Structure 1
Amino acid sequence: MLYQRVVPEKMNIRRPRAVIVLVASGILFCLCYLQIVKKVIKINIESLVLRNTVDSNPDAWWTSVLCKGKTNETFKKIVLPLLMRDITPGLDNNVFLVESACKSTPTYRAWCAVESFARENPKAEVWYVMTTSAVNNTNGLPGRLLDHYPNLHVVSADLDMVFNNTLLEEFFTSGAWYRNTPWPMIQISDLLRVLLVWRYGGFYSDTDTVCLKSISPLKNVIVTSTGDRNHIANGVFHFTNRHEFITFIMSTMTKMYSPRAWGSMGPNTFNRCTREYCKLPNLQSLFPKEREDPIKCGNITVLPEYYLLPYPWNQYRKIFREGGWKNFIATHKKTYAIHAYGKVNGGMLIKVGSNSIYEGASRTFCPISYFHATANSSVF
């Protein structure tokens, strides 16, 4: 039998269309999945950057808000001790001033406020609490003040640590205080001042002030801020550690918070709490007409404005008027401090030798700061 050899033709292998579609779909799914995973990882990383608390890390999440736009300047600096880690205040014998805008170089007027409280209250511990980790000592002023006043402490605050285990912790960590508001520094300052006084007890003052005499007689006090006495200030106050009124303030602040309303957690909260605490229809009913003495309300005292705020904010020009110091010291025997209203005075300059109320007060009660401010300038 004859066999014929059959040579097979070259095979032409073709992939079924269904297989191609399946493979393409799988690749597309994997790409989409990877994109989703990438986004989730990015969100989680951003969340960790904002929320993670590392005690020794100066670049905590909140610095991205308060220190926004700040550059890493090179200057002769003093690295500050960390509040609550390196140094902790005792109870009730304190004066607190706060710098919340992450400034490593405070103004001469801020240093004047700090010095005046340290000078006039030698038996109190004066704390300048800053949100920066170091202070600029190029001109030597901070170092000189620290050397001269043993009761002065310039410290850095880790806000995560300060707010931890308090009524304000959840609000702080939520970041609600900086979202949709033009004034995140104001909001955190309003929170921080109350929290420090609640934790440790003592007196709080803004840094656009000058202390004129010892504030030791002032205990558990708030102050009216206008001649009409229909407003309570949050720029100066005193309370003992965990006083019920300051606890009431803390519990009310976040309920009152309005991101677009300046002072909602500051004066507005103090006004509301005072009315409720004192059971008043309005604040003016606290003071009979022309009354000059403080008013007791439960276990707090409400001071007339001239004790700590002798001029309302809309009369700040009187503080800078030439020759006003001599008359002021003769007529304001009950005044413990003056307030220069830095937020509204537009950085109004003071001429050396003008003897305005502010010039006279700073020359007398913060002499080291005054010397540095005027050493090479006829205005400050």
Structure 2
Amino acid sequence: MPQHAVQPFPVSEEYVKNPEIKPEDIAKFRQWVRTQPHLPDQHISGTAPNSSFRPSINVPRLRKDRQASGVGAELQSCSNLDLVLTYHCCDRSAEVAKQVLDLNLTLRTMSPIFAGRDVDDKGLERAYHIMLLSILPTRTPEGYAVFYQCLVDCDPKNFVFPDVMKAVMMTLDLYQVEQGTWPGLVIVLDMKGVQLAHLSRLEIQTLQHFMYYLQEAFLAKLKAIHYLNAPSFMDKLLMILKPFMKKQLMDMLHIHQPDSKAVDEVIPKAALPKEYGGQHKDINTWIEESWQKVRANREYFAAESERRVNEAKRPGRPRSVTDLFGGVEGSFKKLDID
């Protein structure tokens, strides 16, 4: 197995970590999944109908290789860890969990930010080298995981937003598989080096897809979003984001000016890169390790890209992109606010 290849967090340990979640809860959840013909527990295919996913890798060959090695085969359907993650983030509400799992997989099928997860893609490689994307090694005082992002290449021409968002989601997926459930997740975006020209590189459709997923179908309990080193044009960024944000998410935002000390009480600053005031690794080493971790999990991403819904088999009327992305109204998943 390649170095840095993740091992899924054992479900048996999830029951210890979260004793309020019982194996029989997940067994009942599994029984429901098996009654849904459109969900990937019922089918394995290279490309789901009505999907924007068009694999740029040899899916049949990778499928054959995985069947021979045993690696990744379980990822072609909803794993028990997927069900635990969903049940946990929905506060153990069985009915909400069913809807969130369905929506999570549907969004993964229809949104380009989850498509073409090929680690040989040059755009993806560039995205991983212009910025650091990582779960910090130290938790918040409450025990929440911290997802940290910062730019190292500040040239706006190298900031390709769809590739960046694809990298963000791939990174989060890997850490969730590796670490399992978190008591909560805090997102930290360090704005140091961000220029006004970066805002012109944002693509509204990609932004809308990401914001909808984050609020409605992300399999984690989001607790806060912190912007560090906020630039003078932070108000302009918020104007772009606001149409896609519900009040619950707006209330989670925390804006910190350069040299603000308030963030030290929330975020484990010692866990940041040395160049950003922390005591952890230098940022270039950290970035390269993050990229190698992604490359080492080629088979995971190939298998995950097959775990999609089949709209032709959905009971009732099939869903479309228009159905999903007409706005951010409506909610299955309740956002947590501290």
TM over 0.5: no
Higher-RCO chain (CA-CA 8 Å, sequence separation at least 6): 2
Higher helix share: 2
| TM-score, normalization by structure 1 | 0.27
Say which one has the larger Rg. 1
Higher strand share: 1
